[in-house]
Amino acid sequence: MEVFDFNWLDYFLLIICALTTWRGFCSGIFLGVVRLAIMLVSFACAVLYHKALAQWLAQEWGWADSLAQLLKPLVKLPEPFNSPEIITMPINLLQRISAQIPLPAPWSEIINQLAQTGPQQTVGQAINLLLAQGLLKILAFLGIFFFVKWLLGFLASLVAALMSFSPLGPVDKLAGLALGFATGLVITLALITVLIPLQVPLAMLGADGLLGTLERGISGSTLINEFGPCLANLKIMPPLLPEFSSELLFKYINNGQGTEI
């Protein structure tokens, strides 16, 4: 029989499911339905609108550029990006070189992705900006999720008097338990959705202390490693940091000492 080697993050996710299940059992089916609906609507709104919000914050308020400036002293690029000549090379020059001289993988793929930030950017600036844009999408996702959850929770509290009339018999409690467990799964799904792409910026920032503990917790989580690929295959939502996914930049970035941008 296979024994799972859980770390602290796995236990944290399991505790969330256990608490929501117990809360559902105590409150009954009516409140269970309300809480599950709130979680589903909050998650759906975050999935649908986080990109638009991040783009608006970047274009109208310049949050991506500001975040890039904050991250610049922290970001260290490992191989193959840590050559000072490559870091300071403009993207348009790199494009001209690649058009004349066939470059080995992964450069043709990477250059096309970096060029989306603007041809005048250097390689280091482009990677830094992509990282900032990805983090802004994560922040937008979390902001929408928690705001919608708070708003719907507030509206639900206005009809709390109706909830008090819900019968609390055994069937009601068992149904509430099932809905509480489902609510916990939705919360866990939302957390895994955010935690998986966080490995990239945490690794690139050389995180230590609490952030380093979080990075190691994510990479060593049995639940995330087991169910993360399944969630990705279900395509419930697009990846939050596609530029740094295992299909593009991140598969060429190894953890370890790097060069500042």
In a domain, 37, yes or no: yes
Count of domains in the chain?
1
**Averaged pLDDT for residues 157-180:** 70
Nearest in space to 89 (alpha carbons), one of 59, 110, 64, 58? 110
pLDDT tens for 102-125 read 766 666 777 777 787 777 888 888
Q: How far is CA 243 from CA 50, 63, 174, 240, 246, in A?
A: 16, 18, 44, 9, 9
pLDDT tens for 201-222 read 777 666 567 777 888 888 889 9
Average pLDDT over the chain reads 79
Q: How far is CA 249 from CA 104, 144, 183, 237, 246, in A?
A: 14, 27, 34, 20, 7
Provide the residue range defining the domain that includes 90. 8-161+168-240
In a domain, 58, yes or no: yes
The answer to whether residue 255 scores a pLDDT higher than 60 is no
pLDDT tens for 227-250 read 887 777 777 666 666 655 544 444
Please state the pTM of the whole predicted model.
0.76
In a domain, 172, yes or no: yes
Residue 143 has a pLDDT of 96
In a domain, 217, yes or no: yes
The answer to whether residue 253 scores a pLDDT higher than 60 is no
In a domain, 179, yes or no: yes
Nearest-angstrom CA–CA distance, 83 and 121: 16
Residue 246 has a pLDDT of 45
In a domain, 218, yes or no: yes
In a domain, 98, yes or no: yes
In a domain, 249, yes or no: no
